[in-house]
Amino acid sequence: MAMVQEATATATATDKTVHIFRFKVDDEIMKMIIGFAKLHQYDHRKDYKEAWNKWVEANMEILSAEEKRLKDLGYTGDVFDKFFKSGRYYFRKKSTLEKEQTERKQYIGLKKQTLKAMDTFIKEHLCERITPADSFVNFCNDELAIVSEEITTLVREYQMDVEEINAKLKKTYKNRYFRVSRQNGITQEE
């Protein structure tokens, strides 16, 4: 059994004690539990429990070694219960198919001038107690030159359409509104 290198239960680093809060089961044991859980994936509760007890008896030697390792690291709970719950409630339902990696979109940021204008506008109008959506509309009306310049830049450099630009500006404004309002200790609901 290949033991996973783990931090000890307590390690001293500059005279401070670091405790482990999440005890990881050895990879080989984990593969065994996953295999069992997938094999008995569709069993009823009682059938699963019965098969589990037989499986534990058949693999008692290796499971006991893992129990000892976890106890030596400082685990105080029931190790066999940890194994059972992992298999029954997590791995039994977990898909074995690899998720398809999606390519991240290129981040498109707004100009610093626009961001500063948003922050300034939000700070000046925060006491009005209007929703972030209404505040955004007011910002667009009051700062038309800055918004128009930003729209022109987004169309020219990133070939964004009207809906994408509106969504980008609105999301950025609302995020900044949230941050500024929290910094000033004001909580507002939309």
Convert the pLDDT of each residue in 115-168 to its tens digit. Answer: 999 999 999 998 888 899 999 999 999 999 999 999 999 999 999 999 999 999
Q: Per mean pLDDT, which range of 63-67, 72-76, 121-125 is the poorest?
A: 72-76
Residue with tokens 């080989």: 28
Q: Residue 60's CB: how many other CB atoms inside 10 A?
A: 12
Bigger pLDDT: 92 vs 110: 110
Query: 87 and 116 in one domain?
Result: no
Within-domain flag for 4: no
Query: 176 and 119 in one domain?
Result: yes
Query: 130 and 164 in one domain?
Result: yes
Question: Mind listing the pLDDT tens digit for each residue in 81-107?
Answer: 989 988 888 887 777 677 788 888 888
**Residue 189's pLDDT is what?**
47
The one-character DSSP state at 111 is P
Q: Which residues pair with 7 in a beta bridge?
A: none
Residue 86: name the closest of 152, 5, 130, 32 by CA. Answer: 32
Task: Report whether pLDDT(9) > 70.
Answer: no
**Residue 13's pLDDT is what?**
41
Residue 187's pLDDT band (boundaries 50, 70, 90)?
low
Domains held by the chain: number: 2
DSSP string, 11-43: EEETTEEEE-SSPPPPHHHHHHHHHHHHHTTT-
Residue 18's φ and ψ, nearest 5 degrees, are -105, 125
3-state DSSP assignment of residue 146 = helix
Helix or strand run (H / E) with residue 173: helix 162-183
Query: 177 and 135 in one domain?
Result: yes
Question: In a 10 Å sphere around its CB, with 0-12 CB exposed, 13-18 middle and 19+ buried, how is residue 73 labelled?
Answer: middle
C-alpha triplet 112, 116, 121: angle, nearest 5° = 150
Residue 127 structural domain: 112-182
Residue 172's pLDDT band (boundaries 50, 70, 90)?
very high
